[in-house]
Structure 1
Amino acid sequence: MKALKYILLFAFMSSCGPLIYYDYEETTDFTQYKSYSYFDDMETGLSVLDQKRIMRAIDAELQKVGIERKTNADFYIDISSRDIQPTTNSSFGIGMGGTGGNVGGAISVGVPVGGNLLSREITIDFVDLSEGEKLVWQAVCESLYKPNDTPEKRDEHFNKLIGRIFSKYPPKG
């Protein structure tokens, strides 16, 4: 019974992480990129403060791999997001039952798992303008978030999320 509790806890905890999907242009030499900038007309779908948070997190991650932010850049970043319905509707069932003679009965209660969490999909595109606005790298991430978190919690959330997204950049192809 004790082992079952740990297995269920592990399964629940491992299912809570963000889903991240990557794609990139296979013919692109990512070692040529030394600078980046953001598109001026991005419509991120985020609040102004959350947009700044995600941009600071991206700046920090790209700096780690030696790419610096410049006005006239090698590639440009576009960020977009949208709120979505969570993909899973998990519940934990609690049941009770019994029999006596020819009579049987059962009671089951579904308790929703996850509370008041929302899900957001964030897309980050790297576009090379020297090749006619060619999309060269893309990450799409779906993660849970709490809209009423403190600014500190939001910073922490975006830093972790962007860290996970950029763990696969540059692609090793």
Structure 2
Amino acid sequence: MKNLKVLFLAFLVASCGTIVTYDYEKSTDFSSYKSYNYFDDMETGLSELDTKRLKRAIDAKLKTIGLSRSDTPDFYIDIQSQQVTNRSNSSVGVGVGGGGGRGFGGVSVGIPVGQNQQTREIIIDFVDETKTGLFWQAVSESNYNANASPEKREAIFAKLVEKVFAEYPPE
């Protein structure tokens, strides 16, 4: 029974985490990129303050990787996001059935349990306008609460960025 509780807790923690997928141009020489900047006309889908928080988290992480922000960058970063509604698949079934001398009949109804879950999808693109165009992309989907405190949102973005750049540069 104790093992079942531990397994359930591990599943619960894993299901609330951030999901990240990556894609990149295989012919890209990632070692040639040393500097970056953000597109001026980005429409991130986040508030202006959350955009600044996310950019600060990205700047801090890219600095640890050895990349620096520059006015004459090797590549540009584009950030896009949108709110995603995931339908709840949980339901309770109620059925009534009966049988008589001539056959069987029944009625069943599914009652939804819980609410739809709101998540935020954030897409981070690395674009080299002079060579290959889009050469790296990360798509993340995670829980996001726009009503959380500024400190909590900053911590959420920091964790998100750590996970997004965990596999950068690709091997």
Instruction: Describe the superposition over 1:68-105 as per-residue Cα deviations: whole angstroms up to 9, x where unpaired.
Output: 00011000000000000136x36598xxxxxxxxxxxx
Q: Under a length normalisation based on structure 1, what TM-score does the superposition of the two structures give?
A: 0.82
> Which letter maps to 2:166?
S
Instruction: Mark the runs of 5 or more structure 2 residues left unpaired by the alignment.
Output: 93-110
2:164 is matched with which residue?
165
In the other structure, the counterpart of 2:8 is 8
1:147 aligns with 2:146: yes
Secondary structure of residue in 1 paired with 2:86: coil
Partners of 2:86 and 2:116 within 8 A in 1: no
Residue 120 of structure 1 pairs with residue 120 of structure 2: yes
Aligned to 1:81, the other structure's residue is in SS state strand
1:65-84 to structure 2, matched below 5 A, reads 65-84=65-84
2:11 alignment partner AA: A
CA–CA distance in structure 1, aligned partners of residues 166 and 117 of structure 2:
25
Residue of structure 2 equivalent to 1:39:
39
Where do 1:54-93 residues align within 5 Å?
Answer: 54-86=54-86, 89=88, 91=90
Question: Residue 35 of structure 1 contacts residue 75 of structure 1 at CA under 8 Å; is this kept in 2?
Answer: yes
1:116 deviates by 8.5
Aligned residue for 2:136, secondary structure, equals strand
Q: Is the partner of 1:3 in helix, strand or coil?
A: helix
Q: 1:90 to 1:149 in 2, by over 3 A?
A: farther
Aligned residue in 2 for 1:48: 48
Partner of 2:130, secondary structure, is helix
Paired residues, number = 153
Quote the offset at 1:16 in angstroms: 1.1
8 Å Cα contact 1:117/1:146 also seen in 2: no
Residue type at the aligned position of 2:142:
S
One-letter code of the match for 1:167? A
| Structure with max Cα Rg | 2
Q: Which residue matches 1:104?
A: none
Identity fraction in percent: 52
The 2-side partners of 1:159 and 1:90 are apart by 31
Say if 2:82 and 2:121, in contact at 8 Å, map to a contact too.
yes
SS in 2 for 1:131: coil
How far apart, CA to CA, are the structure 1 residues paired with 2:90 and 2:6? 17
Structure-2 residue corresponding to 1:100: none
**What TM-score do you get using the length of structure 2 for normalisation?**
0.83
